[in-house]
Structure 1
Amino acid sequence: MKLKSITLNNFKGMDNIEFSLDQKTTVIFGINGVGKSTILKAIDLLYANIIAKLTKKKTTEFDKDDISYGKSKATIEAKFVFEDGEEKEYSRSFDRANGRNNNPNQLKELVEKIENNYIVKGYDDGEGNWIEETDDKNMPIFANYGVNRIVLDVPVRAPKEQFEKLDAFDKAIKSTIDFRNLFKWFRNQEDIENQAKVRNNNMGYEDRSLKVVKKAMLAMLDGFEDIHIERKSLSMKVTKNGRNFKINQLSDGEKCTISLFGDLARRMALANPGRENPLEGTGVVLIDELELHMHTSWQRKVLGVLKETFPNIQFIITTHSPQILGELDDKYNLVYLKKEI
């Protein structure tokens, strides 16, 4: 499931503008104030309702300030396309006088399609017993990473938790990196791996999900060899040029990169239980100002490394970076926004 197009009407100064995304990774650029982040917010608001319906949690509502000045109503519309070629439309609107309209029928059809395609549910056996089934279907993810995404919130305690597939959507619309859940998931997977080593008398065993997440977290970083949780200090540590460092001792660029790649990889591992390599899963990921905290040499390679690490993700990013723009080719959609005079 990917985005084919999105249309904004009277939304935060964008009036009747359609963006054709064609399921590709899209790079949006332009000077400050032209609406780059506005496009990401609009997509996020659509996914907020979809995820809320899937997970039975509270959605994110429109704000009256989202309506363009002097207008009475704002609308966001999107077309989604599935692997079988079927397309679904969904729109949300907000009226200053009458409030929101979340198009419940459109939303119901879209969510039912998602559930039928990607989620295995239990069933009633006819005798009052609910039978759980193993959900090994692979599900597309969504995540939104804003400009304030780097928050290394390490839990004081990290109790063991049972993570489920739909947890891939947990805090996906918050525009921050969910480092707390990354830390807890990472520790849990290390425990699972260590238990399997002892149980099977195989000290070389590697947990598949943990292995690919570790690989993703270090994909951008030269000289980094290992990443692990230290139990005594309850901290995530990396080995850099032969020395151990806590994550919070690294540069902002290193912290942001490890956390971004790690959070996304964790979501992919949860959402793709049936894949040999969960990082080959699909989905839509928003990143505002991709170059944040990065040296120019990293800016040149970051989008390529993201696409190599997560080859089937449809990234939609904003940037000011000439280095990022200079690396693009015809495999990407390039959207230039300019200020109306």
Structure 2
Amino acid sequence: MQEYADYIVQIEIDSLWSGRKHIKWDLDRKVNILSGINGEGKSTILNKVVKSLGKSDNISSHGLRGVHLKVFPEDATRIRFDMIRSFDRPLLDTDAINKLDISLATELDWQLYKLQRKYLDYQVNIGNRMIEALQSGSPDAAKKAQEISEPKKKFQDIMDKLFSYTGKKIIRTENEIRFSQIGETLVPYQLSSGEKQILAILLTVLVEDQQNYVLFMDEPEVSLHVDWQKQLIDLILELNPNVQIILTTHSPAVIMNGWMDKVTEVSEITDK
């Protein structure tokens, strides 16, 4: 038995909006885009699924009744997932933040703070794997070590390219994410809302370390420049080809780079 599922095959919800609608959505292995008018239930569907999985990633013991997931392989009991929400709202509960003695103002700042911790763990893990590869005595040990570090380098190259219009570059000698701009060092919390948003999305993908997992995104285009919206799906898949993307959007730009056939209307998966 494989403990963790590779991806979700089907989402079925019995009781959307107090049982007035039944949802049955067959999913693509890679990219799934849910579209529809405001109030039709796009975000509700994603939120129901995420809440049903809870913090334990457990497929079989859902936190909400009426949510059923078919996964691959069928006998998997858990699934790795992340949820990206798009609103850079002010933090409501600042007590815990104040205790950490850090200056965070928004929910995106808090997400980025937690991602920094995961990024440090990720670097330790790949560092250990590189050392193991180099000490293996294999003729291609150096090549294997380079391959292990490639996703991190790709992430850094992508961020440099995206931020090149303002002259920002990742400082590659730092353990935490820092940027240089005209001789000044910037932390992520000093970025614009759009820059924070794209950094949070791509950093979330990177620290999953190329594992099979599901990335839920609720209107990720908010705050993003239209050029970044067009690139978003391709950049995510470039960083982790094993991810399954499930997102809601109102933006035509998100699907412009060849993803039109991955769009599903809420009405198409709803039985009234």
Q: TM-score, normalised by structure 1?
A: 0.56
**Would the aligned equivalents of 2:151 and 2:239 in 1 still touch at CA under 8 Å?**
no
Q: Give the secondary structure class of the aligned counterpart of 1:256.
A: helix
RMSD between aligned alpha carbons?
A: 4.3
Is 1:250 aligned with 2:187?
A: no
Matched with 1:66 is none
1:4 lines up with 2:9 in the alignment = yes
**Counterpart among 52, 59, 66 of residue 75 in structure 1:** 66
Q: Which residue of 2 aligns with 1:31?
A: 37
Structure 2 CA distance for partners of 1:211 and 1:187, relative to 1, 3 Å:
farther
Deviation of 1:147 after TM superposition, in Å, equals 2.9
Distance 2:48 2:37 in 1: 19
Partner of 1:68 in structure 2? none
**What displacement does 1:28 show?**
0.7
Match status 1:315 vs 2:245: yes
1:183 and 2:116 are equivalent in the alignment: yes
Out of 199, 224, 240, which is 1:294 matched to? Answer: 224
Q: What whole-Å deviation, never above 9, does each CA across 1:235-281 have from its counterpart, x for those lacking one?
A: 84212466532222221111111122113312x13xxxxxxxxx3x2
Match for 1:263: what amino acid? T
SS of alignment partner, residue 40 of structure 2: coil
1:262-316 CA distances to partner (integer Å, 9 max, x unpaired)?
Answer: 13312x13xxxxxxxxx3x211110000202101121111111112222121100
Structure that is richer in helix per residue: 2
Measured in 1, the distance between the counterparts of 2:262 and 2:109 equals 25
Matching of residues 1-341 of structure 1 within 5 Å: 1-12=6-17, 15-48=21-54, 50-51=56-57, 61-62=63-64, 75-82=66-73, 87-88=74-75, 110-111=76-77, 141-148=80-87, 156=100, 178-187=111-120, 189=123, 212-213=151-152, 215-216=154-155, 219-220=158-159, 221-223=162-164, 224-227=168-171, 236-240=177-181, 243-266=184-207, 268-269=208-209, 279=210, 281-329=211-259, 333-338=262-267
The 1:260–1:315 alpha-carbon spacing in structure 2 relative to 1, beyond 3 Å, is same
Deviation of 1:18 after TM superposition, in Å, equals 0.6
- Tell me, yes or no, if the aligned pair for 1:285 and 1:316 is still in contact at 8 Å: yes
Q: 1:304 to 1:246 in 2, by over 3 A?
A: same
Unaligned runs of 5+ in 1: 63-73, 89-109, 115-139, 159-173, 201-205, 270-278
Bigger relative contact order (CA 8 A; separation at least 6)? 2
Q: Which ranges in structure 2 are unaligned for 5 or more consecutive residues?
A: 1-5, 92-96, 135-144
Aligned partners of 2:31 and 2:245 also within 8 Å: yes
- Matched with 2:140 is none
Report the residue type matching 1:255 in the other structure.
K
Measure how far apart 1:44 and its partner are.
0.8
Does the 8 A contact of 1:154 with 1:183 survive in 2?
Answer: no
C-alpha distance in 2 between matches for 1:12 and 1:146: 21
User: Partner letter of residue 79 of structure 1?
Assistant: K
CA contact (8 A) 1:24 1:333 kept: no
The answer as to whether partners of 2:85 and 2:220 remain within 8 angstroms in 1 is no
Q: Which has the larger radius of gyration?
A: 1
